Amino acid sequence: METKYTITLCDAEFSSEHSIGLKGAFEKAAKANSLESGLRFTTCKTLGLKDKGAIVVVNPGYFVYGDVTEELVNKIVAEHLVGGEAVQENLIKEDHLFNRSFKTFGDSEFFGKQLRIALRNCGNIDPDNIDDYLANRGYEAIAKVLTDMTPVDVIQEVKKSGVRGRGGAGFPTGLKWEFTQRSQADEKYVVCNADEGDPGAFMDRSTIEGDPHTVLEGMSIAGYAIGASKGVIYIRAEYPLAIKRLEKAIVDARNAGFLGTKILGSDFDFDIELRLGAGAFVCGEETALLNSIEGRRGMPRPRPPFPAQSGLFGKPTLINNVETWANIPVIILDGSEWFSSVGTENSKGTKVFALAGKVVNTGLVEVPMGTTLRDIVYDIGGGIPNGKKLKAIQTGGPSGGCLPVEYLDTKIDYESLAKAGSIMGSGGMIVIDEDTCMVNIAKFFLEFTQDESCGKCTPCREGTKRMLEILTRITEGKGKPEDIAKLERLGNMIKKASLCGLGQSAPNPVLSTIKNFREEYEEHINEGKCRAGQCQSLLSYVINDKCVGCGACKRVCPVDAISGEKKEAHLIDQEKCIKCGQCYQVCKFKAIDKL
Partner 1 sequence: MSCNDCNKVGDPRYDELQVYIDSLRDKPHFESYLIAVLHRAQGLFGYLSEETMNYVSCDMNIPTAQIWGVATFYHFFNLAEQGKHTVSVCMGTACYVKGAAEVLETLKKELGVEVGETSADKIFTLDEARCVGACGLAPVMMIDDEIYGDLTPDKVVAIIKKYREKAKGAA
Residues that bind partner 1 (CB under 8 A): 237-238, 275-280, 292-299, 313, 454, 556, 558-559, 578, 580-582, 585-586
Burial 424-456 (b: 16+ CB within 10 A, else e): bbbbbbbbbbeebbbbbbbbebbebbbebbbeb
Name the minimum Å distance from CB 547 to partner 1.
18
Which residue's CB is nearer to partner 1, number 258 or number 281? 281
CB 163 within 8 A of CB 331: yes
Q: How far from each other are the two terminal CA atoms of the chain, in whole angstroms? A: 81
Which residue's CB is nearer to partner 1, number 87 or number 580? 580
* DSSP state string for 185-229: -S--EEEEEE---STT--HHHHHHHH-HHHHHHHHHHHHHHHT--
d(CA 562, CA 531): 25
The SS3 of residue 510 is helix
For the purposes of burial, counting CB atoms within 10 Å of the CB of 590, is it exposed (0-12), middle (13-18) or buried (19 or more)? exposed
Question: Please, which contacts does 16-19 make with residues 24 or more away whose CB atoms are closer than 8 Å?
Answer: 18/54, 19/43, 19/54
CB 104 within 8 A of CB 111: yes
Alpha helices (H) along 258-399: 286-293, 322-341, 373-374
DSSP secondary structure code for residue 35 in this structure: -
d(CA 80, CA 282): 53
For the purposes of burial, counting CB atoms within 10 Å of the CB of 164, is it exposed (0-12), middle (13-18) or buried (19 or more)? buried
